[in-house]
């Protein structure tokens, strides 16, 4: 696999998080929350200056290069935090998790750090490498956009509403740019041209003439989306304290983590109900009726969002940082794992289908006199 040369430079720069975090951990002044916030802001500012001076050409070509470089550094920091909280490393980020963002020590916080330190980190290197080579990275960017937005929305909302709301420190306000960056980055990613496809007009017409029963893969995906929609609605009702017996049994015997006072699982289920549930209905429609050209892009966005969310939710449901009474019972672990794994895999299969065989989603070619006139000229 071809590795972009400047992606390696970003990787090297991001690994400087190791000595920096270790050194800062031994500075006694960082035992105060305000100093932690100020020092964090200073480091990010210096990092941006370093990236700008080293890669001015790439930033001029695409400003998101600087964003990916800085976020790659923070991804390494997040991976260090996760490894430290699980006891694999010591002496690196104690000052930050104690005085900066103590909610990162929760099970949910640990797993979003793992995701950011691995999946997001690789995406940053890949997208930065694509910018260096002046290549498209639209698909990577859409997946990252969904994953990043879901992660930050659930985490920030849970911090405000959960039991850690009284422990918000000045460093919390450093996350405000994390709310603004996805909006700006999303507009830039969506504005990039799509990769060209080899679908001819005849291929598009032939594919769009097929009914749903003649497309077994699409039929299976539609059935999956319907079932996923019901599962999404059911879990949303569960966290809204629906009094039915089925909801009571589910929250106590299958997913007691939904009762955890940290609020992250409740916020996650509500995000699913208000955003993923409508998407399931719209995606089922787009798989049934041809010409919905928006589906391939949004399938990637929701695949990233649900992949990140399910990784964090499943991991936190069984992590030792979650109190025993809120962990998944051993006798229902298999059912919990299968249902949640399928919930995470389905959107990825949908995105794969849209990218590999996009003819059904193309706008139908013009027909009749207009098409004949264009052909003659």
Average pLDDT across each block of 10 residues of the chain; the chain has 377 residues. List them in order: 56 88 76 78 85 83 91 93 92 83 91 96 92 90 95 92 80 77 87 81 86 93 97 96 92 94 95 96 95 94 97 95 93 93 97 92 65 46
Nearest 10 degrees: Cα torsion 159, 165, 166, 170: 40
Burial class (CB in 10 A: 0-12, 13-18, 19+), 89: middle
The confidence score (pLDDT) of residue 307 equals 97
Q: What angle do CA 315, 320, 324 make, to 5 degrees?
A: 105
In this structure, what token pair is assigned to residue 51? 């990236």
For residues 232 and 272, the answer to whether their CB atoms sit within 8 Å is yes
The confidence score (pLDDT) of residue 375 equals 45
For residues 307 and 118, the answer to whether their CB atoms sit within 8 Å is no
The confidence score (pLDDT) of residue 185 equals 87
pTM of the model: 0.92
Burial class (CB in 10 A: 0-12, 13-18, 19+), 245: exposed
Q: What angle do CA 141, 142, 146 make, to 5 degrees?
A: 115
């Amino acid at each position: 696999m071809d590795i972009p040369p400047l992606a390696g430079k970003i990787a090297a720069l991001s690994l400087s998080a190791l000595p920096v975090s270790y050194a800062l951990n031994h500075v006694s002044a960082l035992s105060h929350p305000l100093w932690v916030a100020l020092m964090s802001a200073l480091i990010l500012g210096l990092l941006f200056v370093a990236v700008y001076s080293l890669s001015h050409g790439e930033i001029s070509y695409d400003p998101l290069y600087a964003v990916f470089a800085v976020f790659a550094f923070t991804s390494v920091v997040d991976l260090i935090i996760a490894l430290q909280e699980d006891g694999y490393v010591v002496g690196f980020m104690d000052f930050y998790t104690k005085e900066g963002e103590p909610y990162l020590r929760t099970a949910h916080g640990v797993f979003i750090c793992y995701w950011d330190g691995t999946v997001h980190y690789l995406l940053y290197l890949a997208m930065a490498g694509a910018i260096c080579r002046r290549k498209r990275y639209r698909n990577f960017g859409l997946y990252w956009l969904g994953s990043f937005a879901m992660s930050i929305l659930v985490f920030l909302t849970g911090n405000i509403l959960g039991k850690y709301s009284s422990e918000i420190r000045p460093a919390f306000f450093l996350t405000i740019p994390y709310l603004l960056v996805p909006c700006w980055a999303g507009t830039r990613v969506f504005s990039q041209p799509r990769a060209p496809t080899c679908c001819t007009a005849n291929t598009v017409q032939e594919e769009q003439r097929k009914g749903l029963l003649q497309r077994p893969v699409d039929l299976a995906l539609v059935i999956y989306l319907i079932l996923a929609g019901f599962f999404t609605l059911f879990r949303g009702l569960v966290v809204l304290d629906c009094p039915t017996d089925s909801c009571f049994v589910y929250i106590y015997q299958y997913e007691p983590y939904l009762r955890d006072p940290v609020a992250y699982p409740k916020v996650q289920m509500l995000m699913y109900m208000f955003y993923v549930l409508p998407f399931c209905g719209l995606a089922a429609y787009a798989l049934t009726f041809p010409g919905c050209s928006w589906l391939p892009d949004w399938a990637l966005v929701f695949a990233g969002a649900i992949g990140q969310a399910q990784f964090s939710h499943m991991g936190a449901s069984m992590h030792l940082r979650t109190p025993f009474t809120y962990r998944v019972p051993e006798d229902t672990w298999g059912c919990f794992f299968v249902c949640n794994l399928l919930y995470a895999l389905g959107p990825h299969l949908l995105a794969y289908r849209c990218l590999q065989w996009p003819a059904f989603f193309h706008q139908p070619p013009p027909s009749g006199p207009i098409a004949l006139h264009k052909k003659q000229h």
